[in-house]
Structure formats: structure tokens, C-alpha cells
Chains A and B, each alone.
Chain A
């Protein structure tokens, strides 16, 4: 097959292709240096003992010892569980809120830019900023959340220092931050639906709700799917917002997998074990992504 293609190339195409490879080479080498090499190093590390606080131990090869340790590590299990909970809450949450925002932004506003700007702003904001903003919101004494509770005559809550509430607050921040990206993807999808579809439905007697269910949702399926994939992949790596809001606390109750890896390597200096955890996260990521991709490959017949 590739031979057949090669034979069909004209001399001009062949020289163009050589030029193409030559121009790609620097970028490829750079990528290899900053992506492929660290990944290889990570995998190599995960099979070694490498603890910066115990330099006298050297870095002996330990086989699967780091992975076996992970299997019995409760804190790792909890971090995985927390990460899954964040995914389960914030991914559907962001898609639902994002869909609402997209529908709102798709309305025929006379002046469109404030709506679009409002939609873009959370997306453009760095994650850590969003985390800090929400940390202030939920701060006990001066936070807006407790101010509202007091205004309603209710007792202020320990938002960031009780496990359930902290999880809730973090989820809220993540959903706020990520739903604007979802909304942008879905807004693009909404704008590909011809206006006549709704007009025909209107004439045919469909209510607004029926129009939403019969036209908007099915026509938006591919866009929702793209949003789900992207949102899930980033949710697996949840780090910045809980880091800024609670730093995993109280205790380890809001700690995600990415945060535990960060702590293991940067705070505890256990590079070998941290690498093994990172490899595990990478595998989970890859598996979930490939499940999605398999689903998309099955999908295209639909449209």
C-alpha cells in the first residue's frame, strides 16, 4: 500500500516531502526532548528506588516494587477515589451548565459581545486564579458564601475545613471554570443547526421543549461528545483548583491523584514511587481516552 503510494508520487512531490520532513525535524526533536525523553525517564524511574531524602540508598532497580506499594497505599486509593468523584460530578456538571450557557449565548441578543465575553472570561482565567477566587468566596470570615448565609440569618459554614463541604466547594469552582469551555464547544455546535429546522418544527406544532429534545439535543450530540472527551481528560488531571483552595485538605479528603503525585515527588522527594504513580495515572488516562475514541469511531454512521 505505502509502496503503491510512493510509486505514484511525482519527483516534485517527493522533493516537497523531503523538504517537509526537513522542516518538521527541529520541532520533532524538540518534542522528543521535552516529551518523549521525560516519559521514558519517568517509566525508567518507576522501576527504580529513587528517594532524594535518602541519597545513600542510591537508585537500585526494584522491579515492580513501587507498583506493588501503590496497590497497598490507602492514600493512593483515596486520591484515585477523589479523582473519580471529581470526574463524576464536574464532567456532567460542566456539560449541563455549559449547555445552558451555550443556549443562552445563542439567543439573538442585540449586543452580542458582553455575552461572548462573559462566556470566555472563566475559560481565559488561569486555573490557579480561579482556585484562589473561590477560596476567597468560601473563606470563613470574609467570604461571600458565608456573608450570604449570614444575610439569610443562617449559621456560617466551615466550607474549606470540613471534608464534604470542601469537596462541594471545589466541584463548584471546577464546574464554573470548565463550563465556559464546554459552552464554547457547544455554541459552535448550536450554530451549525439551520434555523429552518426550528421554524419547520414551530409550524408543525412542536413546543420549545419538544424542539430542544427533537432537534437541539440530537443535532448537538457530536459536539457534546467532543466536550465530554476534553472535559474528562482534563478532569483526570485535576490539580490546580483543589491545590489553591484546600491543598488537599482537610486531611487528605480533597486530594486528587495529580496532587498526591505532586506531593510524593516534590514534597516527599520520593521520585521512584511518584514516577510509578504518574505512570499509573497515564495508563488510566489512556484507557479512558481510548474508550471514548472507540465510541466515536462507532459513531460516524449516524450523520
Chain B
């Protein structure tokens, strides 16, 4: 087991930089998820840790070794690929034992370890089959088996669930989390799915255009997003972010379109400024008489609660309401916006106003 130390890492293809100096410190045994939209550099960073891409500048340390120039096989890592990379001409058992066989481990030990891994992943009955005879979820398990038999210092996952349907994805998420609890091995996991990031990670690194936008626990990135990018990316539905202006005495905040609302004391930090006001769906409430008038645009019942798109003046915000809420498209309601929970961002930089 080992932590990973990424210091000022840069990646450029020719003269085109794709990663602009990333610093990340992953603790031993930690589950870190790299998340971001496509093209943000998350897979490239993972592949640099694996040794499949060269490091243009900076250092990557696994444990206490600088691995910049080590070939992948000497880094003591195992990787699960998006397409699983299972060899179609080999049985499941041969695929799982591949890494051990390549390293010259004796057949008896391979058989024992493969069986152990197969039991953990509940694929014992599949060991004699070829990958072509397996379902997507089963292949995913085999790919993980192939990684865990090696007993590496670090597991790397490159979008491992993106080829599965929603239900299987949820199931395998649980499975991966169980594995981490069982082995306690450091995991770096790449995904574009913020739900995977939130549910799996000890800490999430949100990447944007080749740099780390925020690196913190799921709770923290949810409650204290460092920028509008993080705020929009994390959480479902996305955080409502609307332009607003805070009065110079900070007594009121006026949303785009002219709706003025009493501002909480904390807004004094941005008194007299134009801001982007961020408010999560759960912080919109139906009020009795006093409140902000709004019109219901769309109602999306989810069973456990109901999402509704509300129009307030000229801006739109999504709210999360109890399923019993009397909502209908086109209806007029009065909302209470829980601005104590609101986030303020600088409209120029998109960064949170502390």
C-alpha cells in the first residue's frame, strides 16, 4: 500500500498542453475520484500515474519512489480499463491470472489466487468461460478480479462503469466500495459521473481544462464549491446559479429580472456587488403567504420527492419539494428561498466569494 504524490505535473502533446501543473496528494488507502467533463485531462492524469503516458514535467511519486521513468510493470499498480481489456481467446480464469502468469508465478499459486479473487467477486462459476459469453456486469467483475489477484499497492480505475446500464452501475458501485473497504488499498478512480464520484470517493478532485478546480471530500465539494464550475458539476439537479445584485447596505438582493429579496447578514461580504447567486434545489421551499411569487413551469415527480422548474421574474430555478406538494405546471406559488444556504460567486472569475 502506498500514497501517491503528484507535484506540478504537466502534460503536453507537442506544444499543446493538456494538463497545466497539477498537485494532488493522495493518502495511503484513500479512495480518490478524478471527475470532470470529457477533455478535462482526468484520464490522461490517470494514465500518467499508470505509466501509459509520459510525464512532460513535474513528478509523480507512488509510496516513496518517484515513478516518472518507471515502466508500468514496475509501478506495482493494477488498472481496470473502460473496455475491460479482457482477452477474448482466453478463459476467465486465464484472464484473471494473466498478470501472475506473466510474472512467472507458479501454476498452483495462480490457481489459488484466482479462486480466491473469483470467490470475492462471485465469478467462480464463470471461470471456464470465454469473455464473449459473459454479460457486461460479469466482464466488469472479471476485469476487477484481474486487478485484485495482483495485490498491488494502488488500483487505478478508468471509467470502469460507463459501459453498463444504470441499474448495473449502481450495483457495481456498491461492489467497488465493498472491495475498497475489504482491501483498504489506495484507489484512483476516473469518471465523468458526479454520482459515482460522490458515492465512492473519500476525496474528489474536480478537473477542468487540465487543472484541479477543487480537491476535497464529497461533503465539502457539495457544501462549499469553490467555483460555479464545481457547483454546477456536483449535485443533481445542478445548483441554480442566477445573476443577482446585492444592495450596498446588503439588506436586499435583487435577482436578474428585478425580484428583490431580503438578504441574510452573510451577504454583507459582497455588499454593493454584482454576483452569481447559487442555490441548491433543496433550499427552495413552498411558503404560505409571505414570500417570492413564482410560476411552476415543469413538474418532475421522482417518487421520493418532486422536482419543479420555477420561474421567478425572468430567472428559472429548480426546486426539490416533498411529493405531496400541490404543484402543477402553470400554477402560481409562493416560494421561500433559504438564502442562508446560498452561495455567492464572482461573475467575472466564477470563484466563490468567501
User: Are the CB atoms of A303 and B132 closer together than 8 Å?
Assistant: yes
- Asked if A203 is at the interface of the complex by the 8 Å CB criterion, the answer is yes
CA distance A206 to B74 in the complex (A): 11
State how many angstroms separate the Cβ of B321 from the closest Cβ of chain A. Answer: 45
For A204, the chain B residues whose CB sits under 8 A away are: 73, 78, 98-99, 102, 146, 150
User: Are the CB atoms of A197 and B52 closer together than 8 Å?
Assistant: no
Contacts A202-B52, A221-B89 supplied; 6 other A-B pairs, CB < 8 Å? A199-B72, A200-B81, A203-B77, A203-B79, A204-B99, A204-B146
Known: A200-B79, A201-B102. A206 touches B85 (CB 8 A): no
CA distance A201 to B89 in the complex (A): 14
> Could you mark each residue 31-75 of chain B with 1 if its beta carbon is under 8 Å from any beta carbon of chain A, else 0?
000000000000000000011100000000000000000011101
CA distance A65 to B81 in the complex (A): 68
Report which of A196, A199, A202, A218 forms a contact with B89, defined as CB distance below 8 A: A218
Known: A303-B89, A303-B132. A206 touches B102 (CB 8 A): yes
- Asked if B83 is at the interface of the complex by the 8 Å CB criterion, the answer is yes
CA distance A205 to B104 in the complex (A): 10
User: Are the CB atoms of A303 and B88 closer together than 8 Å?
Assistant: yes
Known: A200-B79, A302-B89. A210 touches B52 (CB 8 A): no
State how many angstroms separate the Cβ of A89 from the closest Cβ of chain B. Answer: 29
> Could you mark each residue 209-239 of chain A with 1 if its beta carbon is under 8 Å from any beta carbon of chain B, else 0?
0100011001101000000000000000000
List chain B positions with a Cβ less than 8 A from chain A.
Answer: 50-52, 71-73, 75, 77-79, 81-83, 85, 87-89, 98-99, 102-103, 132, 146, 150
State how many angstroms separate the Cβ of B87 from the closest Cβ of chain A. Answer: 7
State how many angstroms separate the Cβ of A111 from the closest Cβ of chain B. Answer: 14
User: Are the CB atoms of A199 and B73 closer together than 8 Å?
Assistant: no
For A60, the chain B residues whose CB sits under 8 A away are: none
State how many angstroms separate the Cβ of A192 from the closest Cβ of chain B. Answer: 11
For A221, the chain B residues whose CB sits under 8 A away are: 89
Sort chain A's interface into a size bin.
Answer: 20 to 34
List chain A positions with a Cβ less than 8 A from chain B.
Answer: 194, 196-197, 199-207, 210, 214-215, 218-219, 221, 302-303
For B79, the chain A residues whose CB sits under 8 A away are: 199-200, 203
Of A201, A203, A210, A303, the most chain B CB neighbours within 10 A belong to A203
State how many angstroms separate the Cβ of B96 from the closest Cβ of chain A. Answer: 11
For B150, the chain A residues whose CB sits under 8 A away are: 204
Write the chain B residue with the least CB distance to A215: B87
For B132, the chain A residues whose CB sits under 8 A away are: 303
User: Are the CB atoms of B83 and A205 closer together than 8 Å?
Assistant: no
Write the chain B residue with the least CB distance to A211: B102
For B77, the chain A residues whose CB sits under 8 A away are: 203
For B87, the chain A residues whose CB sits under 8 A away are: 197, 214-215, 218-219
CA distance A219 to B82 in the complex (A): 20
CA distance A199 to B43 in the complex (A): 14
When A and B form their complex, which 3 residue pairs have the shortest distance between CB atoms, in order from nearest? Answer: A204-B99, A200-B85, A205-B73
For A219, the chain B residues whose CB sits under 8 A away are: 87-89
User: Are the CB atoms of A199 and B146 closer together than 8 Å?
Assistant: no
For A303, the chain B residues whose CB sits under 8 A away are: 88-89, 132
Write the chain A residue with the least CB distance to B52: A199
User: Are the CB atoms of B89 and A194 closer together than 8 Å?
Assistant: no
For B98, the chain A residues whose CB sits under 8 A away are: 201, 204, 206, 214
CA distance A206 to B73 in the complex (A): 7
CA distance A199 to B53 in the complex (A): 10
State how many angstroms separate the Cβ of B139 from the closest Cβ of chain A. Answer: 13
CA distance A7 to B103 in the complex (A): 61
Write the chain B residue with the least CB distance to A204: B99
- 26 pairs from A and B in contact (CB 8 Å cutoff): A194-B85, A196-B81, A197-B87, A199-B79, A200-B81, A200-B146, A201-B102, A202-B52, A202-B72, A202-B73, A203-B50, A203-B52, A203-B72, A203-B73, A203-B78, A204-B73, A204-B98, A204-B102, A205-B103, A206-B98, A210-B102, A214-B87, A214-B102, A218-B87, A219-B88, A303-B132
For B73, the chain A residues whose CB sits under 8 A away are: 202-206
Report which of A194, A210, A218, A302 forms a contact with B83, defined as CB distance below 8 A: A194
State how many angstroms separate the Cβ of B196 from the closest Cβ of chain A. Answer: 20
CA distance A303 to B133 in the complex (A): 10
State how many angstroms separate the Cβ of A69 from the closest Cβ of chain B. Answer: 50
For B50, the chain A residues whose CB sits under 8 A away are: 199, 203
State how many angstroms separate the Cβ of B184 from the closest Cβ of chain A. Answer: 21
State how many angstroms separate the Cβ of B154 from the closest Cβ of chain A. Answer: 11
For A215, the chain B residues whose CB sits under 8 A away are: 87
State how many angstroms separate the Cβ of A216 from the closest Cβ of chain B. Answer: 11
Write the chain B residue with the least CB distance to A198: B85
State how many angstroms separate the Cβ of A169 from the closest Cβ of chain B. Answer: 39
For B83, the chain A residues whose CB sits under 8 A away are: 194, 196
For B99, the chain A residues whose CB sits under 8 A away are: 203-206
